[in-house]
Structure 1
């Protein structure tokens, strides 16, 4: 089925998404050039297809996607991977507020820093942040794993119900209902397996230094 290149220069967002959905039926990989930070790229995409975005994306990249593997060479705006149910979203740069918001499954990876409310109301899946995350990370979290390799500011895990937050860096403060626990050997092995699979190179002792944040029950 091969590759297909889409030049998004001058295309409206709806036209771009129509083209992506149509060509995803017939090709294994789509390459999107000149995305120009357009919003809603790959929204609602359900094909099992690889998407390479050469540049940066705007708000809601991959929102409600189920199945595609999306790779962004630049940055992304707010709510990257919003309500994704399956698939993979990898952002080489930074992302705005709400990365991984409400995901049910799949994996969202941001190699750099993100804004606030990362993993807000996520129900499942995995969110990995290679840099720092802003306030209320894990707000109202209901499931899944949220892994932060950098520092996190105020109110981590605010009103968390279920799920687990792992932070390697500093935690400024915990939110209501959140408590910090020691990681288990099982946690450490799972973190190593997940992070190694996505190219994060940590030394063995780092895995024992992760802070584990859960509901205080």
Structure 2
């Protein structure tokens, strides 16, 4: 039975539509003032919501493929199942939640916004991210935070090998085990400020707000970025 909110929402059946058609319809709907759009039968299509700008909530009734929400600026997207590679790639502002698992490169290159994966994530989570926040409810695979330039990654499960490889700024909070660290990454204890931040953000996004066992990965040495600006340690 549909909820009242679903009855008041615009619906798009994606089954027989190309990605180009879906994204055209989304942009037109936002232009016309729609605030909530439900995508049915997404069929794990790639590039859903690519380049979308505006104040709108998108509920995806299934899984999405590669580059879901790429270059988002403002929208909120809830994916009720899984996501392929590069969810939220280069997002500047907005919110993406994946209720299942996600593939490699979650939040690649993001400049802002929040990405939440309730399950596990693949390799290179937060690769070359500049700012924003990524929360992984399960484990994250190898090279999490590769070339990380800023922002925050929170992993409630384990981190696989080479975590924080060549990171230059930012911080990776981890509650589980760390298989190994990458170059220029070091594992240190969290401080009181970290605890306050973790409790607040975990509660906000419906995760257990217990900070025990959390540690953080930060750059081991301050290095120059493109020969000009020094990095920050956490």
Q: TM-score normalised to the size of structure 2? A: 0.90
Q: Distance in 1 between matches of 2:27 and 2:190?
A: 42
Asked if 2 retains the 8 angstrom alpha-carbon contact of 1:149 and 1:169, the reply is yes
Indicate which of 204, 208, 216 corresponds to 2:212: 208
Query: Where does residue 14 of structure 1 map in the other structure?
Result: 20
Unaligned runs of 5+ in 2: 1-7, 222-234
- Spell out structure 1 runs of 4+ moving beyond 6 A: none
- 1:59 aligned to 58, 66, 76, which one? 66
Contact kept in structure 2, 1:183 and 1:208, CA below 8 Å: no
What secondary structure, in the 3-state scheme, does the structure 1 residue paired with 2:201 have? helix
Match of 1:175 in 2: 182
Q: CA deviation at 1:140?
A: 0.1
Contact 1:24 1:30 survives alignment (8 Å): no
* TM-score normalised by L of structure 1: 0.96
Q: Once the 2 structures are TM-superposed, how far is the Cα of residue 47 of structure 1 from its aligned partner?
A: 1.1
Give the Cα–Cα distance (whole angstroms) in 2 for the partners of residues 211 and 140 of structure 1.
Answer: 20
The Cα shift of 1:202 comes to: 3.7
Total equivalences in the alignment: 213
Q: Which residue of 2 aligns with 1:115?
A: 122
Name stretches of at least 5 consecutive residues in structure 1 with no aligned partner: none
Q: Distance in 1 between matches of 2:163 and 2:138?
A: 15
Q: CA deviation at 1:32?
A: 0.5
Q: Per the alignment, in what secondary structure is the counterpart of residue 89 of structure 1?
A: strand
CA distance in 2, matches of 1:11, 1:215: 45
Cα root mean square deviation, aligned: 0.8
The 1-side partners of 2:181 and 2:208 are apart by 27
Larger Rg: 2
Partner of 2:145: 138
Whether 1:99 and 2:103 are equivalent positions in the alignment is no
